[in-house]
Structure 1
């Protein structure tokens, strides 16, 4: 299909799409929208940045417009893993539904609970929220789902990773059994995902448009070796000063490292915001708004942002720490090169991260480009020997010797201990003297603590 008009969407939605200058549907939209309009439950796997949000919002809005039920409670519920993603989804609902009377409300943590409850009493057609806050409203008796017609689980694999499985299942059980359920994810999710699908969806149609290995070809993926944390910090400073980019995100694995790196970059006169789970809603919203408007060019974030950021002209992603899995790597670099754009993803690899990086390469069936920054050339330039799978090759002879020594270690260590004990009545060894004074053995001062 070459245009949204071919998808038989409501004329008001077509008008809104035209004003947004969105004329051609993406592959996931072409596949998912007709199937959703048929009323089928869907399980859709498509890569990050492929246009999944519009793929479920357009059929949702179309059906709400086609079948008006003014006296019912909430008719559609969208579950998402993070506040940032929920906020962006609300903005897309408002943009696509600008020529309709459909109302949507946001239910996430960090906002006034009573204000949210008051908004829900006005019976908005669409609720958008995170599982934790929705469960709180359910327990308080504010959330009524008996009239629900459509349930959407977006980034469902991420919700599983974040431990929301029980919350999602409980919310789904509260919904009207005859509802339509659409489940979207960027990865297949494994056994946990299969269990959720069997519990929540009814005879779903499966649309696997992209596997996790099908990354955007327009994203250049590079690795730079590093000696330690401080070396990585200098590399990030150099990259942000020398790379050509409009906006950048630097990912760390921990909140502490994100705060530390932000301080380092601010000290080098860079305008930087930091985003992680301990930031309150006001700070998180401010960070995203400043990045989107271009007030700041660099965001330092943990994985809380990996699935919650959609920023135009974000063309550089730096992995300060290598992500712990191939799926997380996909979601991180998916922040750039979205919907046909170009971008660069650079991962900084210390010696202890090499094998993890090699595993991710193997999982994705891709080879990352090796890059050397001569101005900051370190000691670690990669393992001397590599296995066929790309991991560092250890010395088998040394390992075997260690195992043999370990077996004999009881006798050897015992002999050493006995030899080290001084005999009773034995005179202590004479001190090494110089000019009548004993030579003091100074303890070596420990190095700086990271």
Structure 2
């Protein structure tokens, strides 16, 4: 089947032909006719199979008639991340070159005033992240009463990022008669319940089993120790991986993205970084540098795991095994796209065994090991191999466990002490212990001794007392004690106010005789 057989308009077909595409993917072939007919669509397909074009092309065909009004967009596309939203905007600009539609992008990290200006001109297509879009709506800058088509892309990612309450609110704000399109690579039960609530008799398009991986991607596991050994394993893979042109390295935490990025940069790798704490300009600059080939390695968090269309990525390396098995499907979907071959490598430590079991259960296949398995890593031959490899590369050999680290710390401390003794001579030692360290404390005997005996001092202490200056003797004032014959204080004592002590004259009162 060709694109011309799907019922798309002539303008859209010309734009597709200019882009170099002639044959639609399975998700496009099945979803586009239902979308053109105005039906709700629930699309499930592997990542990298063309879901973006599956809703972009029919939307362009339907938007050819009519124009948008100020603050009232005609269509709304919700994306979980800024990068995905920007990517969908690029798709509309590419396929809609002959339509001259107004496309507005509402994402965080960009000037609020510039985005408001686009909305005020009238947006035929509004692409937004849920948080920024609701911010515009609550400020009165945006009206959703004219939405004809609502697209929710990467619906399961919306669930992971906590956007489901926002999605429910938005679905209640748009007209009941709109057309709704859901697209995702996985469909957990929570998303299924959401589709049952807001989709009306949808056409379910499932071209592959949910959460499956493409056959053109080779998947392997590599065992490693943690800490610095894990970074050493990553560098070895980047130097020796077969057919590596470029690679995306995924970490679970943003802090680890910075650590791995600095480590690779220190060892001379052309590398960039991408995570959620970066400002939007830096994120887009890193992504563009990787797309243009300025850097060959991109270290990122899961912000880049969903939907990013970078066509020719040869390798994906999971520096950290994903804690959610669905994330594994999306991560390795960045390679092996559009029928190309790809490689997915996951570095596994002792703490990752349970996550690997969950991933294999989800994708319903066993991932092969490249080299020794995790339980074989402590064998003597592999330990010796690691040492020889580290010696050849000039890097520090693998460290052992906690006991080895403590011993190495004691050895370093002892080495510094010996070097100081060689330079200045041995430190002088005390020939006799101090009296207060050797004499046991007799607390009970001292408490039972009479007061006069406790006040007396031994004879050997007298010279020391005599040599002490006289002015040091009275260190503290003794507390004042009330004598026995002191009269008790009555009332205010000496602090009676003067007006109470002033004499007054009283009038005499005559009594009747």
Normalised by the length of structure 1, the TM-score is 0.81
Give me the whole-angstrom Cα distance separating, in 1, the residues matched to 2:354 and 2:68: 58
Q: CA deviation at 1:169?
A: 1.3
| Residues 28, 46 of structure 1: 8 Å contact kept | yes
| Residues 27, 206 of structure 2: 8 Å contact kept | no
Give me the whole-angstrom Cα distance separating, in 2, the residues matched to 1:144 and 1:298: 42
Cα–Cα, structure 1 residues 358 and 63, in superposed 2: closer, same or farther, change >3 Å?
same
* Equivalent of residue 218 in structure 2, options 214, 217, 220: 220
Q: Indicate whether 1:346 and 2:345 are aligned.
A: yes
| Residues 225, 380 of structure 1: 8 Å contact kept | no
Q: Report the counterpart of residue 359 of structure 2 in structure 1.
A: 360
1:378-412 CA-partner distances (Å, limit 9, x unpaired): 5379xxxxxxxxxxxxxxxxxxxxxxxxxxxxxxx
Q: CA deviation at 1:436?
A: 10
Partner SS for 1:68:
coil
Give me the whole-angstrom Cα distance separating, in 1, the residues matched to 2:432 and 2:120: 92
Q: Report the counterpart of residue 23 of structure 1 in structure 2.
A: 22
Matches within 5 A, 1:360-379: 360-372=359-371, 378-379=377-378
Matches within 5 A, 1:318-329: 318-329=317-328
Matches within 5 A, 1:274-353: 274-353=273-352
Q: Relative contact order (alpha carbons < 8 A, sep ≥ 6): 1 or 2 greater?
A: 1
Give me the whole-angstrom Cα distance separating, in 1, the residues matched to 2:139 and 2:379: 56
Q: Name the count of aligned residue pairs.
A: 379
Matches within 5 A, 1:159-174: 159-174=158-173
Give me the whole-angstrom Cα distance separating, in 2, the residues matched to 1:329 and 1:186: 12
* Equivalent of residue 208 in structure 1, options 206, 212, 215: 206
Gaps of 5+ in 1: 382-434, 438-450
Partner SS for 1:8:
coil
| Residues 83, 308 of structure 1: 8 Å contact kept | no
Q: Report the counterpart of residue 385 of structure 1 in structure 2.
A: none
Deviates more, 1:200-209 or 1:3-12: 200-209
Give me the whole-angstrom Cα distance separating, in 2, the residues matched to 1:150 and 1:182: 8
* Equivalent of residue 232 in structure 1, options 217, 230, 233: 230
Cα–Cα, structure 1 residues 290 and 324, in superposed 2: closer, same or farther, change >3 Å?
same
Gaps of 5+ in 2: 381-430, 434-513
Partner SS for 2:183:
strand
Cα–Cα, structure 1 residues 99 and 316, in superposed 2: closer, same or farther, change >3 Å?
same
Cα–Cα, structure 1 residues 291 and 380, in superposed 2: closer, same or farther, change >3 Å?
farther
Give me the whole-angstrom Cα distance separating, in 1, the residues matched to 2:339 and 2:34: 24
1:238-274 CA-partner distances (Å, limit 9, x unpaired): 1111222222100010011110000100000111111
Q: CA deviation at 1:145?
A: 1.2
Q: Report the counterpart of residue 506 of structure 2 in structure 1.
A: none
Q: Report the counterpart of residue 149 of structure 1 in structure 2.
A: 148
Q: Report the counterpart of residue 195 of structure 2 in structure 1.
A: 197
Q: CA deviation at 1:177?
A: 1.3
Q: Report the counterpart of residue 416 of structure 1 in structure 2.
A: none
Cα–Cα, structure 1 residues 380 and 49, in superposed 2: closer, same or farther, change >3 Å?
farther
Partner SS for 2:63:
helix
Partner SS for 1:121:
helix
Deviates more, 1:273-282 or 1:356-365: 356-365
Q: CA deviation at 1:331?
A: 0.2
Give me the whole-angstrom Cα distance separating, in 1, the residues matched to 2:298 and 2:211: 26
Partner SS for 1:224:
strand
| Residues 106, 132 of structure 2: 8 Å contact kept | yes
Q: Report the counterpart of residue 266 of structure 1 in structure 2.
A: 265
Give me the whole-angstrom Cα distance separating, in 1, the residues matched to 2:378 and 2:288: 40
| Residues 157, 188 of structure 1: 8 Å contact kept | yes
Q: CA deviation at 1:365?
A: 1.1
Give me the whole-angstrom Cα distance separating, in 2, the residues matched to 1:92 and 1:247: 24
Q: Report the counterpart of residue 245 of structure 1 in structure 2.
A: 244
Partner SS for 2:118:
helix
